[in-house]
Structure 1
Amino acid sequence: MVNHFNEFANLCFERFGNRVKYWITFNNPWAHARVWHTYDSQWRAKQKGLVGISLSGDWGEPVDLSNQKDIEAAERYVQFYLGWFATPVFHGDYPQVMKDFIGRKSVQQGLGTSRLPTFSPQEKSYIKGTCDFLGIGHFTTRYITQKNYPSGRSTSSYFTDRDLAELVDPRWPDPGSEWLYSVPWGFRRLLNFVKTQYGNPMVYVTENGVSEKMLCTELCDDWRIQYYKDYINEMLKDPLTSHMEMVTEIVVPTVCTLSILLSAIFLMFLLRRRN
């Protein structure tokens, strides 16, 4: 499969590379690095293009920010989701938390080796850095809490390996699908995660949107307009936004209050002198 896909991609580079300068190998993968190296060695110098990959990733927020187990569970949620493919592409290996949890569960099931494949040193070197930009498909967020699953061969799966439970807030807007809730702030936090984890790569948002909420005979998608507006606003926030919010919400009111108090004290002083 890898060789066949590489041959197909190479033909695309040959026929269209003089016009197409941005290539996404896969939207939700599975066989990326070979094609990146083919472009890098045979076509990049002539065509001056970029090759990336597009990965899906929802954000996981701890249910209890004071509970270390919930914080770790939320980290696992994102690492098992986005990190499963992004971390090998950027760092050459699976996320450490995946290796730890799947390895331990495999031992508990009586298996001789981990169910998660192991990269050889040559494979790690070959995969690492094969991403000129990262495409992200993002739609929603979940609250995450720690939940232990028993380790049995018949019950083991991607979902039980994570030892966590996914929850939603009933106050989150429901645009029309049972799995998709509008949680714009989760998008911002996922983008910050990518920036921190993977060295601030170039990012393209390749998927985002909402499903139909109702059947209409005319235009009636106010919920979609609001979803896009909220998510785009989170994406466009300046890095100084949190600082500016602090200035607006804390510093300015405090300064105003102090100014009023000082003015009142000064006025009382003047009135006393006159009396």
Structure 2
Amino acid sequence: MISYFNDYANLCFEKFGDRVKYWITFNNPWTHAKVWHSYNKTWRNKQQGMVGISLTSAWGEPVDLTSQKDIEAAERYVQFYLGWFANPIYSGDYPEVMKNYVGRKSAQQGLGMSRLPTFSVQEKSYIKGTSDFLGLSHFTTRYIIQKNYSALKGPSYHTDRDLVELVDPKWPDPGSKWLYSVPWGFRRLLNFIKTQYGNPLIYVTENGVSEKLQCIQLCDEWRIEYLKGYINEMLKDPLTTHMEMVTEIVVPTVFTLCILISAILLMFLLRKHN
């Protein structure tokens, strides 16, 4: 299937590449590196486009910020969700925590090898760096707590993670049962991606909310509030170090205040003079 998909992608590059400059290989993918290499080798110089991938991820927040177990469980939640596919692209391999947990559960289930495939050295090198941008689909957030699941329950993505997902009853109730409006989780996910994967170029490929009311006329206040909240979180200043904050935020602010104060004093002196 990889070869067939690569042939199809090359046909698309050939026919539409003079006009289409942004390509997403997969939405919620399993594999895509071959297509990136094809574009990079054959089409990039003449078409000057970009090839990326679109991954879906919610944000996981620890229930108890003082609990190391909850903090680690929330990290696993995001690594199993986003890191499963993003980590090979940016680091060349699955997240270490994912390999450890799936490997341990597989051994407890009497399997001779992990249910998570192992990349060869050549595969790691081939996959790493095969994305010009990261397409991100994001909708909601969950609170996460640690919970140990017995391996005897059988192989499962959900029990491999050893965690439980919770929602806050104070979050705005959704039109869909799985989707709660939690704008601050979007910003935390973006900051996670920045620090985890070296600040890649991000395009938000999916975001939105279902309507919770059946209306005869247009009544989109719920969707307006959802989008406003998420867009505002996206538009906030990026994650910065303390020194960057001083140079990029504090210094310009103080400089502006000085100009305003000087202007006010000048106006006062001119009025007094007249």
TM > 0.5 = yes
Question: 2:271 is matched with which residue?
Answer: none
**Structure 2 unaligned blocks of 5 or more:** 251-274
Do the aligned partners of 1:51 and 1:132 also contact (CA within 8 Å) in 2? Answer: yes
Q: Distance in 1 between matches of 2:239 and 2:14?
A: 44
Query: Rg larger in 1 or in 2?
Result: 1
Q: What amino acid is aligned across from residue 174 of structure 1 in structure 2?
A: D
Q: Distance in 2 between matches of 1:240 and 1:97?
A: 25
- The runs of at least 4 aligned residues of structure 1 exceeding 2 Å deviation read 239-244
**Structure 1 unaligned blocks of 5 or more:** 249-275
Task: Count the aligned residue pairs.
Answer: 245
1:205 alignment partner, SS class: strand
- How high is the TM-score relative to the length of structure 2? 0.87
Q: Distance in 2 between matches of 1:138 and 1:7?
A: 30
Q: Distance in 1 between matches of 2:191 and 2:41?
A: 32
Q: Distance in 1 between matches of 2:225 and 2:52?
A: 30
Do the aligned partners of 1:175 and 1:223 also contact (CA within 8 Å) in 2? Answer: no
Do the aligned partners of 1:140 and 1:183 also contact (CA within 8 Å) in 2? Answer: yes
Question: 1:253 is matched with which residue?
Answer: none
1:24 alignment partner, SS class: strand
Q: Distance in 2 between matches of 1:27 and 1:167?
A: 26
Q: Distance in 1 between matches of 2:127 and 2:45?
A: 20
Do the aligned partners of 1:175 and 1:224 also contact (CA within 8 Å) in 2? Answer: no
Q: What amino acid is aligned across from residue 212 of structure 1 in structure 2?
A: E
Q: Distance in 1 between matches of 2:24 and 2:197?
A: 18
Q: What amino acid is aligned across from residue 193 of structure 2 in structure 1?
A: V
Q: What amino acid is aligned across from residue 35 of structure 2 in structure 1?
A: V
Give runs of aligned pairs for residues 34-45 of structure 1, distance below 5 A: 34-45=34-45
Do the aligned partners of 1:54 and 1:137 also contact (CA within 8 Å) in 2? Answer: yes
Do the aligned partners of 2:109 and 2:154 also contact (CA within 8 Å) in 1? Answer: no
Question: 1:267 is matched with which residue?
Answer: none
Q: What amino acid is aligned across from residue 39 of structure 1 in structure 2?
A: Y
Q: What amino acid is aligned across from residue 74 of structure 1 in structure 2?
A: A
Q: Distance in 2 between matches of 1:24 and 1:64?
A: 37
Q: What amino acid is aligned across from residue 5 of structure 2 in structure 1?
A: F
Structure 1 residue 240: Cα displacement: 7.1
Structure 1 residue 239: Cα displacement: 3.1
Q: Distance in 2 between matches of 1:26 and 1:231?
A: 24
- How high is the TM-score relative to the length of structure 1? 0.86
Q: Distance in 2 between matches of 1:18 and 1:240?
A: 36
Structure 1 residue 212: Cα displacement: 1.8
Question: 1:3 is matched with which residue?
Answer: 3
Question: 2:76 is matched with which residue?
Answer: 76
1:60 alignment partner, SS class: strand
Question: 1:259 is matched with which residue?
Answer: none
Alpha-carbon displacement from aligned partner over 1:103-125 (angstroms, at most 9, x marks no partner): 11111111110000000000000
Structure 1 residue 170: Cα displacement: 0.1
Give runs of aligned pairs for residues 1-275 of structure 1, distance below 5 A: 1-152=1-152, 155-239=154-238
Q: Distance in 2 between matches of 1:213 and 1:100?
A: 40
Q: Distance in 2 between matches of 1:144 and 1:50?
A: 36
Q: Distance in 2 between matches of 1:174 and 1:41?
A: 48
Q: Distance in 2 between matches of 1:6 and 1:239?
A: 36
Alpha-carbon displacement from aligned partner over 1:1-45 (angstroms, at most 9, x marks no partner): 111100000000000000100000011112210000000000001
RMSD: 1.7
Q: Distance in 2 between matches of 1:110 and 1:155?
A: 11
Structure 1 residue 77: Cα displacement: 0.1
Do the aligned partners of 2:56 and 2:136 also contact (CA within 8 Å) in 1? Answer: yes
Question: 1:268 is matched with which residue?
Answer: none
1:43 alignment partner, SS class: helix
Do the aligned partners of 2:191 and 2:238 also contact (CA within 8 Å) in 1? Answer: no
Structure 1 residue 156: Cα displacement: 2.0
Do the aligned partners of 2:62 and 2:143 also contact (CA within 8 Å) in 1? Answer: yes
